[in-house]
Amino acid sequence: MRAILAVLILYCVGVAYASEQGHPLNLMPLPSSVQPGTGQLVIDTSFSVGVSGPGDSRLGRTLELFLGDLRRQTGMLPLDMKVTDPAQASLAIHIDHPTKDVQEPGEDESYSLEVSPAGGKLDAATALGAMRGLQTFLQLVQATSEGFAVPAVTIHDQPRFPWRGLMIDVGRHFIPVDVLKRNLDGMAALKLNVFHWHLSENQGFRVESRHFPKLHEMGSDGLYYTQDQVRDLIAHAHDRGIRVVPEFDMPGHSTAWFVGYPELASAPGPYQIERKWGVFDPAMDPTEERTYKFLDKFIGEMATLFPDKYFHIGGDEVNGKQWDANPKIQAFMRAHGLKNNQDLQAYFNQRVQKLVSKHAKTMLGWDEILRPDLPNDIVVQSWRGQSSLAQASKQGYRGLLSFGYYLDLMWSASRHYAVDPMSDAAADLSPDEKQRILGGEACMWTEYVSPENIDSRIWPRMAAIAERLWSAQNVTDVNSMYERMEATSKWLERYGLTHNSNYNVMLRRIAGSDNIMPLRTLADVLEPMKDYAREETASVEPTSLTPLNRLVDAVRPESTRARQFADAVNSLLMPGNVEPDQRKILRSHLSIWQGNQTSFPSLDNQPLLLREAGPLSQSLSQVAWVGLQALDYLDRDERAPDAWKTEQLAILQHAGEQKAQLLLMIVPSVQKLVEAAAGATSK
Amino acid sequence: MRAILAVLILYCVGVAYASEQGHPLNLMPLPSSVQPGTGQLVIDTSFSVGVSGPGDSRLGRTLELFLGDLRRQTGMLPLDMKVTDPAQASLAIHIDHPTKDVQEPGEDESYSLEVSPAGGKLDAATALGAMRGLQTFLQLVQATSEGFAVPAVTIHDQPRFPWRGLMIDVGRHFIPVDVLKRNLDGMAALKLNVFHWHLSENQGFRVESRHFPKLHEMGSDGLYYTQDQVRDLIAHAHDRGIRVVPEFDMPGHSTAWFVGYPELASAPGPYQIERKWGVFDPAMDPTEERTYKFLDKFIGEMATLFPDKYFHIGGDEVNGKQWDANPKIQAFMRAHGLKNNQDLQAYFNQRVQKLVSKHAKTMLGWDEILRPDLPNDIVVQSWRGQSSLAQASKQGYRGLLSFGYYLDLMWSASRHYAVDPMSDAAADLSPDEKQRILGGEACMWTEYVSPENIDSRIWPRMAAIAERLWSAQNVTDVNSMYERMEATSKWLERYGLTHNSNYNVMLRRIAGSDNIMPLRTLADVLEPMKDYAREETASVEPTSLTPLNRLVDAVRPESTRARQFADAVNSLLMPGNVEPDQRKILRSHLSIWQGNQTSFPSLDNQPLLLREAGPLSQSLSQVAWVGLQALDYLDRDERAPDAWKTEQLAILQHAGEQKAQLLLMIVPSVQKLVEAAAGATSK
């Protein structure tokens, strides 16, 4: 209810500002309560910020980062704004109590922000709350007739879930530190607080180990993080109120470990770094004591390197084939009454859990680790769904939702937005059980993700998930979400995120030319196939060495243009619609798409990478032509003949099929136009 | 002659490729000789590079940087291309002899590149030549029907001048290390080889000094480079074949030194960091031995930190007022027979030169240091012009040209391009004297330059100067230069240079909105005022604290659109022109400009920063309307009445005046249209 009110209030603020200043408040994630005041706080070169309350070592850095952001936003210089005594400050921050040295889930992140023409007051329980409030303050800054200002407003805000994360898989494709850092900046802007670092995979082991140097030396192709880089990244995250949870996947997904240490595996080596994608046979040998000796020392080393209380052991997708084939393992299972591979893995997990616990960490793992024989303090991360999460919670375990938040599946932001950790099976949990659902994590698996396109796979859709995890459950207005997400997307560019800029870079490469207009017109209405269809439709099996420079790697996961076109078509076809210009606008879009083919290079020896665009361009032209005909019928208020409809639907069906693993996203909307044209005469 | 041939050959290559692959070779700077061959060398994931010849420690890094660039260009992954045995390599590099440990001007940078379908061969005298040749190779990569390829070609190339530099003033506004690094990357791409780091100014002393910590602690507002950062930057430059020459300006331009060490000055302190721009009174006291003791120790420290053989002492713009006012100094001058302040500064320079020399460095300074009493090994950097350069050379001194290469003066690329170190007074020098002209340096003074807009002040115009300093003297085709410069501008974005991307970022801030189309249409035909007019027309005196977020800070130094419009007008008005579509194209441009005003926000309370655009937008509309009328007359083949002409010229005169320190660059072209319309009837 509070959140609905907030939406209503925000809407009013938006309207008020739309008339006074020309733009709405684009707060994302939406705060719990937003109450507009009168007037505004001017932000000029004399702006200052100060903090009172118990000392917190990280606050100095927080203020510097905040002023840096504010300067970038307003185009001011390093000496233009200052940290000062809070009594004199334009924005006075008060902190109630210090944060823990090592950030923990559930630390109070709430804040209240009160802005009036005389100044701003930010009251927060902790430095973490202050960080979140400062991000809100930055989002409030607007260009005004006096320069820049924050409108008078009172905001009370706190997160719905204590665990709001993003997982990045750096195993399948290595992602350099600078790319991770800018993504951490983006996370902080969206009030996310956990970076889950998936550090080992069949395709690569990515951290320097001093105890077991062959892990990174032989398991990474030289692509790994030094321990100094890890510490540097953790400090970068810490400055932004983000925890870093490392994951070392075991006993499966571990081929890269075995390249240097084949004795850990359940079948004799030698092993090579895996180049293909999928689930593979190699798994650690859970029956050998040397495995646990190794893991004890390894976990000990990593437990020191990564200060976070939580330690993720993966635990997913063990196919058990190496175990089945090893007589010694089979004998062990019989001797210990382990009936199947699930039992064997549960035994392994129990042993590993004791090691994790010995090194003062709490264990985290994917669904598969859930067995009642593990202690209640472990956390289960669910890629399977809310029912699996509910089940864990009922058994007393804490859980995180990742099902529905897989960014690599190329879902629309609205589809992710609709996934709630507390819905479906989780909706029926008791209050206590619900309490154990800590939040969620988006997952960026990187089979088809490189440092060049990772930002565009994460942003801006990640913002919708961030809002789901921060804002109240009933904040569900998709139109409002999209509007604020588009603004957020631009906003995020300030951190050097390349989700927008690399789109053009990649299209230029594909076009082999600086003139990308026709290609971009096409690419703007394309999306990659969804879920795992790319894998299923590949003509040549992709590997970790396959360049990610195709059109499908460049186009955005969600086409804004196609979405807006769909909205316009839906609104046109709504009964009672009398918008006179709407058809004109639709017609002008369709005309551009229809004509785009003519300016599309069609040389026989066109660049190889551009060749994939050819059939899609042809489809775009055809579909647009179908749409124009349908509009003609609608304009003339004439019912289109059935034969015409049949013919057009066949064209659309063909155009709707994947080409080069890409989908033409305007097809469903044009189909609606065709059906409307051939249906009852339109109004 | 060789160069003319090269231009002709290049032109042919361009045409050949325009028909075969759709794009010309965009080599910049233009090599000495380019001879096209048959076929192409395919660049795919199996591409490899190897090197033979005497070991050179920097080559390993060179190859890694090259492969990184090549991967970025083709969208390939870190494991896709390899360094390998040169006998097996797709591109085999051979080096004749190693480079010196500390790079020196005049080291051989020549190379020959031979590419055939079977492979590439790069022969270079040194690793420096190999670096230059690899940049050429990268520029040759094209998207082809087989993926990517380099066309078969034979190139022989060497620089015209051994000293091709860019100076960046980090004193007036501090420029962070990451910004400098990406500019070094851009320099390397253009085969530049000297980064001249102007490290101290009245407004800031920017290097950590361990001997004299009050220099950076009190003289920098906390904005300085640590010695580790300096070393890191020098290593970054070294990897790219770029020397780093530090400048510490003395005895003037030195207020920031005196904040911590007032005893160095010629008048008692205290001193404060200067916030204003201009020439100021404070100068070191050349009559006190403690000055030289200080400088001895200081230069010693910096001579160790900066390995380059050359050490720049500035020496410019001493107004002598502190000296005139100090009786002790006056007495000293009388006692030593120093007739005027020039004599006193010459005395200072001689003393400092001995210190520089004692620390095994060669002294460099601006024109003012030139006095016959200095030893012949010093180098004079001329901001005054070729005559000053010629004079130095005749006296046996080596020289560098910077006159004509001041990027802060907002000249067009073609104007910089026309400045040749060997022209004017220097043209008459003897061969020996010419030999002493080492090259030139572009200068980026930063009164109105911040980390946000510095890239756009340097690039792409710097590419024209780079070509002037590398390519033969008779490479002067301005159209070819602009064509290649535009391609280079896009190319440079790969290094994270923000000359294009920050334009939109700044316009969005000014517009206070993500919709910048109307503002951008206007900004695209604006340029900042030239030379020092911005200073002269400022309504409020600007300081180092003044935000650089105005329209004049965002618009590009040279308007591509206005240049192209001017070309189109010139070509239309050329006698005998029969291009039928030209008027249509001009008309469509003019119509867009004329109508732009209507979509321009005109609210009373529009954002402050946008307000400056209002009168300019109005002018644009008016000027375009004048142009459309002129085209009407020309279309009707009707002579426009004199009264009309007078009226239009008055409108144009008003529109041509600066507004908000910006110039509307289409005015001269429209004036030509008006004059043609009112002149003899057109054909």
DSSP string, B174-206: ---HHHHHHHHHHHHHTT--EEEEE-EETTEE-
Q: Which helix (H) or strand (E) holds B43?
A: strand B33-43
Instruction: Name the minimum distance, in Å, from the CA of B253 to any CA of chain A.
Output: 21
At A62, is the pLDDT very low, low, confident or very high (cuts 50, 70, 90)? very high
Report the DSSP pairing between strands A362-366 and A526-528.
unpaired
Are the C-beta atoms of residues B251 and B284 closer than 8 Å to each other? yes
Q: Cβ of A174 under 8 Å from any chain B Cβ?
A: yes
The letter for the amino acid at A630 is: A
Phi, psi of B366 (to 5 degrees): -75, 170
Question: A74 vs B547: CB contact, 8 Å cut-off?
Answer: yes
pLDDT tens, position by position, A395-406: 999 999 999 999
**Residue A52 clears pLDDT 80, i.e. is over it:** yes
Q: Closest partner residue to B487 among A514, A547, A601, by Cβ?
A: A514
Gap between the Cα atoms of B239 and B56, Å rounded: 12
Mean pLDDT of chain B, nearest integer: 93
Gap between the Cα atoms of B496 and B79, Å rounded: 22
Tokens of A19: 């008339």
Tokens of B22: 């759709």
DSSP string, A379-416: EEEESS-HHHHHHHHHTT-EEEE-TT-BGGG---HHHH
Gap between the Cα atoms of B92 and B48, Å rounded: 9
3-state secondary structure of B359: coil
Tokens of A73: 């936003």
- Cβ neighbors of A636 (< 8 A, separation 6 or more) are none
Q: Cβ of A22 under 8 Å from any chain B Cβ?
A: yes
Q: Measuring CA to CA, which residue among A639, A474, A620, A627 is closest to residue A551?
A: A620
**Residue B107 clears pLDDT 70, i.e. is over it:** yes
At B13, is the pLDDT very low, low, confident or very high (cuts 50, 70, 90)? very low
> Beta-carbon neighbour count of residue B523 at 10 Å?
26
Which residues of B fall within a CB distance of 8 Å from A79? 221, 223, 544-545
Question: B144 vs A513: CB contact, 8 Å cut-off?
Answer: no
HEC-encoded secondary structure of A116-150: ECCEEEEEECCHHHHHHHHHHHHHHCEEECCEEEE
Report the DSSP pairing between strands A662-664 and A111-116.
unpaired
pLDDT value of position A575? 84
pLDDT tens, position by position, A424-455: 999 999 999 999 999 999 999 999 999 999 99
At B24, is the pLDDT very low, low, confident or very high (cuts 50, 70, 90)? low
Gap between the Cα atoms of B627 and B676, Å rounded: 11
Helix residue ranges per DSSP H, A443-523: 454-458, 461-470, 478-492, 501-511, 517-523
At A680, is the pLDDT very low, low, confident or very high (cuts 50, 70, 90)? low
pLDDT value of position B16? 30
Pairs from A15-18 (Cβ < 8 Å, separation ≥ 24): A17/A142, A17/A151
Tokens of A200: 């080992």
Which residues of B fall within a CB distance of 8 Å from A493? 501, 505
List the single best residue of A70, A71, A72, A77 to mutate versus B (max B Cβ within 10 A).
A77
Among B residues 465-504, those touching chain A with beta carbons less than 8 Å apart: 486-487, 490, 493-494, 496, 501
**Residue B670 clears pLDDT 60, i.e. is over it:** yes
Are the C-beta atoms of residues B206 and B199 closer than 8 Å to each other? yes
pLDDT value of position A24? 67
Question: A147 vs B608: CB contact, 8 Å cut-off?
Answer: yes
pLDDT value of position A606? 87
pLDDT tens, position by position, A325-358: 999 999 999 999 999 999 999 999 999 999 999 9
Are the C-beta atoms of residues B499 and B179 closer than 8 Å to each other? no
pLDDT tens, position by position, B403-452: 999 999 999 999 999 999 999 999 999 999 999 999 999 999 999 999 99
Q: Cβ of B509 under 8 Å from any chain A Cβ?
A: yes
DSSP string, A413-426: HHHHHT--TTSGGG
Question: B608 vs A21: CB contact, 8 Å cut-off?
Answer: no
Q: What is the average pLDDT across A626-631?
A: 97
Which residues of A fall within a CB distance of 8 Å from B452? 72, 75
**Residue A19 clears pLDDT 80, i.e. is over it:** no
CA A521 to chain CA mean position, Å = 26
HEC-encoded secondary structure of B496-522: CCCCCHHHHHHHHHHHCCCCCHHHHHH
Question: A505 vs B513: CB contact, 8 Å cut-off?
Answer: no
CA distances (Å), origin A193, targets A105, A481, B533: 9, 20, 50
Q: Which residues pair with B526 in a beta bridge?
A: B664
Gap between the Cα atoms of A682 and A674, Å rounded: 12
pLDDT tens, position by position, A501-545: 999 999 999 999 988 999 999 999 999 999 999 989 998 999 999
Q: Cβ of B511 under 8 Å from any chain A Cβ?
A: yes
At A390, is the pLDDT very low, low, confident or very high (cuts 50, 70, 90)? very high
- Cβ neighbors of B586 (< 8 A, separation 6 or more) are B565, B568, B569, B572, B627, B631
Gap between the Cα atoms of B653 and B648, Å rounded: 8
pLDDT tens, position by position, B481-523: 999 999 999 999 989 999 999 999 999 999 998 889 999 999 9
Question: B142 vs A80: CB contact, 8 Å cut-off?
Answer: no
pLDDT value of position B603? 62
Q: Closest partner residue to A514 among B174, B490, B512, by Cβ?
A: B490
DSSP string, B256-269: HHHHH-GGGBSS--
pLDDT tens, position by position, B262-299: 999 999 989 999 999 999 999 999 999 999 999 999 99
A-to-B residue pairs, Cβ atoms closer than 8 angstroms: 149
Q: Closest partner residue to A145 among B513, B548, B606, by Cβ?
A: B606
Question: A143 vs B608: CB contact, 8 Å cut-off?
Answer: yes
pTM of the model: 0.94
Which residues of A fall within a CB distance of 8 Å from B609? 143, 147
Nearest-Cα residue of chain A relative to residue B146: A608
Q: What is the average pLDDT across B117-125?
A: 97
Are the C-beta atoms of residues B312 and B364 closer than 8 Å to each other? yes
- Cβ neighbors of B596 (< 8 A, separation 6 or more) are B518, B521, B522, B617, B620, B621
Q: Say if residue A186 is exposed, middle or buried (CB neighbours under 10 Å; 0-12, 13-18, 19+).
A: buried
List the single best residue of A23, A79, A185 to mutate versus B (max B Cβ within 10 A).
A79
Angle between helices A582-596 and A613-636 (to 10 degrees): 150
**Residue B6 clears pLDDT 80, i.e. is over it:** no
CA end-to-end span of chain B: 39
At A604, is the pLDDT very low, low, confident or very high (cuts 50, 70, 90)? low
Which residues of A fall within a CB distance of 8 Å from B21? 512, 605
**What Rg, from alpha-carbon coordinates, does chain A have?**
27
Question: B78 vs A223: CB contact, 8 Å cut-off?
Answer: yes
Which residues of B fall within a CB distance of 8 Å from A549? 74-76
Among B residues 263-322, those touching chain A with beta carbons less than 8 Å apart: none
**Residue B681 clears pLDDT 70, i.e. is over it:** no
Q: Cβ of A679 under 8 Å from any chain B Cβ?
A: no
3-state secondary structure of A641: coil
Nearest-Cα residue of chain A relative to residue B449: A77
List the single best residue of B608, B610, B612 to mutate versus A (max A Cβ within 10 A).
B608
Which residue in this structure is represented by tokens 């998207």? B143
Q: Which helix (H) or strand (E) holds B614?
A: helix B613-636
> Beta-carbon neighbour count of residue B581 at 10 Å?
8
Mean pLDDT of chain A, nearest integer: 93
3-state secondary structure of B624: helix
At A13, is the pLDDT very low, low, confident or very high (cuts 50, 70, 90)? very low
Question: A45 vs B547: CB contact, 8 Å cut-off?
Answer: yes
CA angle A369, A374, A376 (to 5 degrees): 110
Q: Measuring CA to CA, which residue among A447, A350, A466, A340 is closest to residue A405?
A: A466
Please confirm, yes or no, whether A317 is among the known catalytic residues: yes
Q: Cβ of A513 under 8 Å from any chain B Cβ?
A: yes
pLDDT value of position A602? 66
At B56, is the pLDDT very low, low, confident or very high (cuts 50, 70, 90)? confident
Q: What is the average pLDDT across A591-611?
A: 86
Are the C-beta atoms of residues A526 and A664 closer than 8 Å to each other? yes
Nearest-Cα residue of chain B relative to residue A483: B514
Question: A174 vs B603: CB contact, 8 Å cut-off?
Answer: no
Gap between the Cα atoms of B96 and B52, Å rounded: 9
Percent of chain B, pLDDT > 90? 89
Gap between the Cα atoms of B552 and B556, Å rounded: 8
Question: B601 vs A22: CB contact, 8 Å cut-off?
Answer: yes
